[in-house]
Amino acid sequence: MDLAFWRDISRFYLLSMQLVVTLVTAVVLYFVVRGVMIARRKATSGVKLARYYVGIGRMQTTKFADKAATPLVRSHGMAARGDAIFRTLAPSSPTDKVISKAKE
């Protein structure tokens, strides 16, 4: 047994160690990917259900907000309209003329 024999044996040993590590890593990654796919599938169904209920909540919120805000918007519009009519019918005072000249 000369030195070349032991060199060949050590190369075979080192390559087989690397092969074992590579195979173990590949197997672990395979199961990690499968686990992630299963988790994604289960999470997707939960997300769809959550989106459904969020949509219902959004529709109800819009419906009740419109129902609550409509009288307030109408009363504000009527007040603004009344104020505009009053301003057009009221005689202009000297201070209004000064303000209009300052705006120009």
Identify the pLDDT of residue 88. Answer: 82
Model pTM above 0.95 = no
How far apart are the C-alpha atoms of 93 and 102, rounded to whole Å?
Answer: 15
How far apart are the C-alpha atoms of 21 and 29, rounded to whole Å?
Answer: 12
How does pLDDT run across 44-95, given as a tens digit for each residue?
Answer: 888 888 899 999 999 999 999 989 888 888 999 999 998 888 888 866 665 5
Identify the pLDDT of residue 102. Answer: 56
The total number of structural domains that make up the chain: 1
Domain span at residue 34? 3-103
